[in-house]
Structure 1
Amino acid sequence: MTNPPDRPLVVGVDGSEPSLRAVDWAADEAALRGVPLRLVYASLWERYEGVALGQDRGKPSEQVLAEDIVATAARRAERRHADLKTSTDVLPEEPEYALVRVGRDAGALVVGSRGRGTLAELLLGSVSLAVAAHADCPVIVLRGSHANRGAPATRGRVVVGVGEEPGVSAAAVRFAVREAALRGVPLEAVRAWRCPAHESAGRPPLTGEPARLHEGRAAETLEAAVREAAERYPDVDLRRRTVEGQARRALLDASLDADLLVVGARRDPGHHGLQLGRVTHGVLHHSACPVAVVPHRA
């Protein structure tokens, strides 16, 4: 999928420290892309507050709080980048549904790793996970050191995972190469491979297919996935790496010294569950850097 370059970057805010750090990161990203920043707060306060009003404001107290939250976030973004065009929205909806809906007109969505709520003890907040699993645009979830501070990227590398499905990998690579070009940093494309003997514990080693054959196939898959990107962005330092072992482990290791890890996610029409593969689900929970989930409609 592609998004027009002038579509806004949307960031979900809820007043928590992770969401404020997401505002910092998103403001930097919007300034880098040269697009507007849209700050969105969503909550079903009407369900819980009824007609209770904020003192002297004539509005439900939760709505008053929400408006203060987005106003504070907007000031924070504008202090960070004085010329950044910002807008705010307060929506009386469940956060995950609101962000997915708003994401239909966004270039990308940015969410913190955790938010407020009863599921905050999970490794990844339920809202962030739901948005990453259902949005029609790329979703950037702040993980690792970038979830602990709002700081510009300093490691100087974007990593993209190349999987089994060509369409899913192509969407992820297109997004990743644009991000690398914007940052002026190398892009490393990673493809994991394993011999069949390594996939089934207890079986004797197979000798019919040597390891170099599997590694060669992985290299061919990797080259096919990045060929178009290499041609369209010849100035990007595009590095190819095949790794023996589990894809999840290979990408988590690569995230240790990356600014952004990009993975693809298949979107099947009519499917309403979490549309994330095992590898994407795993890196969302454990990555040491921000993760961009790029959807591809089957």
Structure 2
Amino acid sequence: MSRPGDRRVVAGVSGSLGSLTALHRAAAEARVAGATLRAVLAWEPPGGEMGHRGGLCPPPVSDWRQLAAERLISALETAFGSAEPGVPLECLVVLGKPGKVLLAAADRPDDLLVVGAGARGRVRRAMWPSVARYCVAHACCPVLSVPPSPLHRAFDAVHRRNAWRLPLDARELAD
């Protein structure tokens, strides 16, 4: 059993808007609980482990790990700016599937695992399996699945309009 000062709030970080929302929530939960915030980024080489090995001159795995570490640092800077989260911070960059990596990082019953709710809609769920659902189904600790920020929907709408090159009326964003 861990001591009270050893409590951890584990946040899955990918750099997406949903993971940044979850990271903010995890920091808030860590402050309330007096816990350490553990930011975890899981990564795999492009094409997966087998695709990486089969390439004609694949870059060393250390290069991909360095890129993943830079992505985690960038996500933390985006989430908190020059300020810190206000709690002890532990960063992990781990090679592996996101769900399994997060469960290994949150392996104590008194941990709290915080993840973004993930993609919504049947097509998105079919194309990108939900890390949040995997974690909820297999975790040994509580899991907090954070829904997207209300601004996320507005951002997606603007992104779709830009992709289709449709005109944008800024008054629509005020709704």
Q: How high is the TM-score relative to the length of structure 1?
A: 0.42
Displacement of 1:292: 0.5
Runs of at least 4 residues off by over 6 Å = 272-276
Cα deviations by residue, 1:141-174 (Å, 9 ceiling, x for unpaired): xxxxxxxxxxxx88500000012x5211110100
Aligned to 2:138: 286
CA contact (8 A) 1:158 1:187 kept: yes
Residue from 62, 68, 78 that aligns with 1:212: 62
Could you say what secondary structure the match of 1:196 adopts?
Answer: coil
Displacement of 1:204: 2.0
CA contact (8 A) 2:11 2:115 kept: yes
Paired residues, what number?
143
Displacement of 1:278: 2.3
Aligned-residue identity in percent: 34
- For residues 225 and 201 of structure 1, do their structure 2 counterparts lie closer, same or farther at Cα, with a shift above 3 Å needed? closer
1 or 2, which has the higher helix percentage?
2
Q: Distance between the aligned counterparts of 2:30 and 2:81, measured in 1? A: 12
Alignment of 1:1-298 (within 5 A): 156-163=7-14, 165-196=15-46, 198-200=48-50, 204=54, 207-227=57-77, 228-229=79-80, 231-257=82-108, 259-266=111-118, 271=121, 277-296=129-148, 297-298=152-153
Gaps of at least 5 residues in structure 2 are: 154-175
Kindly provide the amino acid, as one letter, of the partner of residue 235 in structure 1. G
* Larger gyration radius, structure 1 or structure 2: 1
Q: Distance between the aligned counterparts of 1:202 and 1:212, measured in 2? A: 12
- For residues 206 and 237 of structure 1, do their structure 2 counterparts lie closer, same or farther at Cα, with a shift above 3 Å needed? farther
- For residues 235 and 206 of structure 1, do their structure 2 counterparts lie closer, same or farther at Cα, with a shift above 3 Å needed? farther
Q: Distance between the aligned counterparts of 2:56 and 2:34, measured in 1? A: 44
CA contact (8 A) 1:155 1:259 kept: no
CA contact (8 A) 1:192 1:244 kept: yes
Could you say what secondary structure the match of 1:192 adopts?
Answer: strand
Cα deviations by residue, 1:70-123 (Å, 9 ceiling, x for unpaired): xxxxxxxxxxxxxxxxxxxxxxxxxxxxxxxxxxxxxxxxxxxxxxxxxxxxxx
Greater RCO, 1 or 2 (C-alpha within 8 Å, sep 6+): 2
Displacement of 1:277: 4.3
Q: Distance between the aligned counterparts of 1:186 and 1:231, measured in 2? A: 19
Q: Could you say what the CA RMSD is over the residues aligned between the two structures, in angstroms?
A: 2.9
